[in-house]
Amino acid sequence: MSQEISLKDLFLQVKNKNEYLKVCAPMVRYSRVQFRTLVKNYGVDLCFTPMILADSFCQNSKARYNEFLTTDTDSPLIVQFAANNANDFLDASKLVHPYANGVDLNCGCPQRWAMKDGYGCSLLSKPDIIQDLVLGVRNNLPSHFSVSVKIRILQDIKKTIELCHQLQSCGVDFITVHGRTPSQKSGEKVNVDALREVCASVQVPIIVNGGVKTLKDADDLYSAVKCNGVMAASGLLTNPALFDGSTKTPQTCIKLWMDLKNKSNDHITFQCYHHHLVFMLEKILTKPERQEFNCLSTFESVDEYLKMNILNDHTTPDYEHSLGNFIKCEFDEGITSQHGKKCRGCGKSTCYCICNRYDCDKTDGKYFSSFLEESDSLDYMETNMFAETL
Ligand SMILES: Cc1cc2nc3c(=O)[nH]c(=O)nc-3n(C[C@H](O)[C@H](O)[C@H](O)COP(=O)(O)O)c2cc1C
């Protein structure tokens, strides 16, 4: 793994070419290693993992293995954590440091549970806490290992710029700015003027995010705001070849996805494989076809459907970025042993157990995904495309 690539160099390389970095967003459940590998074949330069809860990651080995899977070609990679204290963020960062190019602090998650427990957007009003978290990593891990923060714009643009200046002065390598406020929904208009003002006022590289569905959207946003990188989330889900200029998922992309699944053995769940295809085929299938496809429940039936109905030929195309070998991550026990296994059903503020099912002994370690599934608001999954049939 080439984790020595520094993000500073990466930003410099694209700047010297008068280009911008094309970035795959952190996406809970979705920006996993197979998807990261897929999008790199279509112009993505930098990928983020899904948001991982730093405290669970430090405390529980099952959480570590469920939430973080990587390969020896999965680079450059930023691991995104949700954290609300410097100790958890630093220790989680130390644990992934051998396997990634940097860590990112989520300050943009608007979900109610996150706000209640001091994660995500709630940190936007506590810049001193963000500063503590960032400084902890900056002062304790090597300078080529990046530390960054993903924020949303605030109602008051001056406050957004003030926050970026604070982050800059505590040594962040870059900042990702989602051009919507915490109370805006994902379909709402992105505030391009605010993004432009932020980019013009801050010296560290800025990745802008929001509403990018095509390469033209990304190019236009870059021209309008003069940023260093453009990040896409939902647009990449529906068309992983977005940054390559395709307007809908090309057949080769579906073939690559099948091939990446075949090379993953038991490292990919059916749900992950199928959900991605549901997104990718959104613009290709008619509604009745989608209803049929969304009901499929085995790898075999999905592959058969694709071969019979979508693909013109069944050859696997050559591709540049392969999955590589899965890495058996060894996490420093000197660090993990300091984070006792805490009961998740105890009613403490960091407890994600909403029904006392995930006590220490019985837990499957999938705190975060289990929680999301039961969460009252899937703000990170605002599509209701699964509602019809799943
Ligand atoms: C399915 C899904 C999962 C997401 N998960 C995360 C996440 O883990 N961390 C994060 O910072 N943002 C997350 N987001 C927000 C995106 O990173 C991005 O900021 C937002 O969707 C706006 O970009 P878009 O308009 O290109 O979708 C998620 C978005 C989606 C659609």
Atom 31 in ligand 1: residue holding the nearest Cα: 234
- Token pair belonging to 296: 């499929």
The answer, yes or no, to whether any atom of ligand 1 lies below 6 A from the CB of 78, is: no
Active site residue 109: yes
Is it the case that residue 380 has pLDDT exceeding 70?
Answer: no
Over residues 118-133, the pLDDT tens digits come to 999 999 999 999 999 9
pLDDT digits (tens, 9 = 90+) for 212-252: 999 999 999 999 999 999 999 999 999 999 999 999 999 99
Whole-model pTM: value is: 0.91
Is any ligand 1 atom within 6 A of the Cβ of residue 345? no
For 290-343, what is each residue's pLDDT tens digit? 999 999 999 999 999 999 999 999 898 899 999 999 999 999 999 999 997 654
- pLDDT for residue 316: 87
Q: Taking the domains of the chain in order of start, what are their residue ranges?
A: 7-239, 251-309
Residue-level pLDDT at 372: 43
Distance of CA 304 from the midpoint of ligand 1 (Å): 31
How do residues 40-89 score in pLDDT, each as one tens digit?
999 999 999 999 999 999 998 888 999 999 999 999 999 999 999 999 99
Rounded to whole angstroms, how far apart are CA atoms 291 and 390? 9
Q: In percent, how much of the chain has pLDDT > 90?
A: 81
Distance (Å) from CA 106 to ligand 1 centroid: 11
CA of residue 312 to ligand 1 center, whole Å: 33
How many degrees, rounded to 5, is the angle at CA 242 between CA 237 and CA 245? 165
CA distances from 64 to 92, 111, 340 (A): 10, 22, 14
Say whether pLDDT at 358 is over 70: no
Q: Catalytic one among 24, 58, 107, 109? A: 109
| Cis omega (within 30 of 0) for bond into 240 | no
Atom of ligand 1 nearest to the CA of 51: 8
Both tokens of 230, joined, read 């453009």
| Six token digits for residue 384 | 């209701």
Q: Give the position, in ligand 1's atom list, of the atom nearest the Cα of 190.
A: 25
Residue 2 has pLDDT above 50, yes or no: no
Q: What residue's CA is closest to ligand 1, atom 19?
A: 178
Q: Which tokens hold the place of 208?
A: 């802008």
Residue 24 Cβ inside 6 Å of ligand 1? The answer reads no
Q: What is the CATH number of domain 7-239?
A: 3.20.20.70
The string of pLDDT tens digits covering residues 175-197 is 999 999 999 998 899 999 999 99
